[in-house]
Amino acid sequence: MKSRHPERYLFCEGVKPSRQLDPATASFSGAVDMRAIIVIILSAAALASCTPENDVTGSVSNCARKLYTPFNPKDMKQCVAACIACESGVVTTCSTSCTLKGAR
């Protein structure tokens, strides 16, 4: 490698310089593509966070039945106690959850 530049930049012989875009004619297609990818990723994250958790195994129902033999999910006291014990909840979130499920 020989330096032919007055400020001693290195140039490799036989290597062509890369194309550089003229700012006046530059295309923003790369920026648009990146924005589209970001929008898709953020949309997927938002949709994934909105899906509810389902108790596939039924372990919460089994736990509630062990606490209360005749478990009544419409009874507020039973519902909140089962929520706290079986779902590791706190009084505030469990009472809200039970109210939304129709307990009184």
pLDDT tens string 39-92: 999 988 888 776 666 555 567 788 888 888 888 889 999 999 999 988 888 999
Look at residue 48 in the predicted model and tell me its pLDDT: 77
pLDDT given at position 12: 58
Q: What is the pLDDT of residues 13-52, one digit of tens each?
A: 665 655 555 555 555 555 667 888 899 999 888 887 766 6
Whether the model clears a pTM of 0.85, i.e. scores above it, the answer is no
Q: How far apart are CA 60 and CA 19, in angstroms?
A: 63
Concatenating the DSSP letter of every residue in 40-74 gives: HHHHHHHHHHHSPP--SS-HHHHHHHHH-TT--TT
Q: Beta-carbon neighbour count of residue 99 at 10 Å? A: 13
